């Protein structure tokens, strides 16, 4: 079994890579820190994805930011800054969309192949009851639409393909360190095991869906 982990040097990406390797998978990785793979740069994405050969049984996309390094998630509409919002969308939405342009070439067309992209429950419009974090929420909602559309397109040429958005829960990583005080957190290794367990049980009929770390469907 072959896997490609994008964002392999991050907290969840590292844990997923380690778990897959422990389970005997042949695992390749791409990351900004180790490969210069910048999802906000189209040329970088094209170059990194073009270097991948053969097909993968799993492509795991583990990328995202809560806010630009110079800012923070907005607590109110009055805090929205166009530059900050554009940066969040560039990484959280456009980056995965650019990766998905290569999905058909990198998935087997005669057997099951999965693309799992990390989203977040706060990207659910139906589940939003407190507001705030406008750029992050909107970027993840938009990502879910991209994933859903990709699943439809892939099903036409790869009938056994599965393309989903996954919510990992609040994971103990640098990504959530400043914002996890009011939420139960889990170690990255536990989150990775949970997500891979969900992925292992997915069926093609579930492609295009949005699921949490326990395999429960999340409302759009």
Percent of the chain past pLDDT 90, that is, above it, reads 91
- pLDDT, averaged across the chain: 94
Is residue 183 pLDDT above 80, yes or no?
no
Give residue-wise pLDDT tens across range 32-58: 999 999 999 999 999 999 999 999 999
In this predicted model, which residue has the larger pLDDT, 180 or 76? 76
Going 47 to 48 to 54 to 59, the CA torsion angle's sign is negative
Domain ranges of the chain: 2-212
Does the structural domain 2-212 have CATH classification 3.30.390.50?
no
Percent of the chain past pLDDT 70, that is, above it, reads 95
Give residue-wise pLDDT tens across range 5-31: 999 999 999 999 999 999 999 999 999
Q: Could you tell me the pTM of the whole model?
A: 0.93
Write the burial class of residue 210 (CB in 10 Å: 0-12 exposed, 13-18 middle, 19+ buried). Answer: buried
Going 192 to 195 to 198 to 200, the CA torsion angle's sign is negative
Termini Cα distance of the chain: 32
Please give the Cα distance from 15 to 21 (Å, whole number). Answer: 10
């Amino acid at each position: 079994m072959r896997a490609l982990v994008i964002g392999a040097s991050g907290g969840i990406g590292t844990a997923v890579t380690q778990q897959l390797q422990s389970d005997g998978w042949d695992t390749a990785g791409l990351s900004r820190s180790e490969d210069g793979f910048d999802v906000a740069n189209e040329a970088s994405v094209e170059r990194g994805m073009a270097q991948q050969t053969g097909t993968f049984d799993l492509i795991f996309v583990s990328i995202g930011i809560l806010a630009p390094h110079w800012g923070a998630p907005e607590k109110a509409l009055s805090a929205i800054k166009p530059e900050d919002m554009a940066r969040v969308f560039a990484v959280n939405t456009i980056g995965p969309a650019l990766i998905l342009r290569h999905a058909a070439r990198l998935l087997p067309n005669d057997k099951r192949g999965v693309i799992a992209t990390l989203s977040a429950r706060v990207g659910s419009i139906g589940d939003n009851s407190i507001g705030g974090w406008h750029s992050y929420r909107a970027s993840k909602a938009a990502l879910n639409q991209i994933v859903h559309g990709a699943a439809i397109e892939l099903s036409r040429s790869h009938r056994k393909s599965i393309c989903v958005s996954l919510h990992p829960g609040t994971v103990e990583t640098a990504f959530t360190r400043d914002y996890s005080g009011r939420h139960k957190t889990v170690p990255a290794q536990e989150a990775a095991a949970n997500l891979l367990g969900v992925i292992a049980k997915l069926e093609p009929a579930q492609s295009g869906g949005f699921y949490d770390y326990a395999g429960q469907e999340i409302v759009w």
